[in-house]
């Protein structure tokens, strides 16, 4: 697997991905041309991956690239909800494309970590032993996922967020920049944890969690 060749990657022994992700030989097209896309481009260059194209909003360019010939990379980030990342991922999965998993050489992945398709782990991020990360999840710069956590599909753990051991977070959630979640917490799907907020108890689907300790706010309280 190409990542093991990196002199920088701190790599656990039992780290597993879906089989088709392990080839990682196809050239890449990045979907999205904003800030996150630029971070990924940089990372893919470090990984010596061949980036053929970067698509802006108009995905017509993909007509030039058959699904069997390329892998896609989700270049769209999120700042509060993950709807766009999810919609674009599912649209192109339905057209037969695969999404590459991108792990920065300076990320640290522990043993027995399971990762879905199209997971991205950016520079300085740490995923500890026994964690499970769903499809199309973004573990962003310098964030921490401690041991035995579960993060549902399409979720985004933003830069500097710290998730302690044994936490389970449902699909399509956004954990804001610098947020903290204490050990063993359960969050439902489509939760938003505000930047810098501290989650110290369980919350259901669709919660908007702000402050320290975080309280569940109504949609009307945030813009």
**Contact residues for ligand COA (CB under 6 A)?**
77, 79-80, 140, 158-159, 176-177, 194-197, 210-211, 222-223
Please say which residue, 54 or 175, places its beta carbon nearer to ligand COA.
175
- Give the residue with the Cβ less far from ligand COA, 52 or 198: 198
Least distance CB 122 / ligand COA (angstroms): 10
CB of 70 to ligand COA, least distance (A): 26
Geometric angle at alpha carbon 193, from 191 and 197, rounded to 5°:
155
User: Whose CB is nearest to ligand COA?
Assistant: 194
Measured from the CB atom, the residue of 130 and 194 that comes closer to ligand COA is: 194
Least separation in angstroms between CB 111 and ligand COA: 28
Of 147 and 190, nearer to ligand COA (C-beta) is 190
Minimum CB separation from ligand COA for residue 187, in Å?
15
């Amino acid at each position: 697997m190409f990542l093991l060749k990196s002199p920088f990657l701190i790599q656990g022994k039992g780290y597993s991905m879906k089989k088709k992700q392990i080839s990682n030989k196809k050239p890449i097209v990045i979907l999205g041309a904003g800030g996150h896309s630029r971070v990924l481009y940089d990372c893919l260059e470090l990984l010596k991956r061949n980036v053929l194209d970067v698509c802006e909003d108009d995905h017509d360019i993909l007509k030039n690239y058959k699904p069997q010939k390329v892998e896609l990379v989700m270049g769209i980030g999120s700042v509060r909800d993950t709807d766009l990342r999810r919609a674009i991922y599912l649209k192109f999965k339905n057209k037969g494309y695969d999404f590459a998993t991108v792990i920065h050489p300076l990320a640290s992945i522990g043993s027995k970590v399971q990762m879905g398709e199209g997971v991205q782990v950016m520079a300085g991020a740490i995923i500890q032993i026994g964690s499970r990360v769903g499809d199309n999840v973004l573990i962003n710069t310098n964030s921490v996922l401690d041991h035995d956590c579960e993060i549902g599909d399409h979720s985004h753990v933003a830069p500097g967020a710290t998730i302690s051991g044994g936490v389970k977070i449902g699909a399509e959630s956004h954990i804001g920049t610098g947020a903290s979640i204490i050990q063993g917490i359960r969050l439902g799907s489509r939760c938003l944890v505000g930047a810098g907020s501290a989650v110290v108890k369980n919350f259901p689907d669709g919660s908007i969690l702000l402050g320290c300790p975080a309280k569940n706010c109504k949609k009307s309280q945030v813009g």
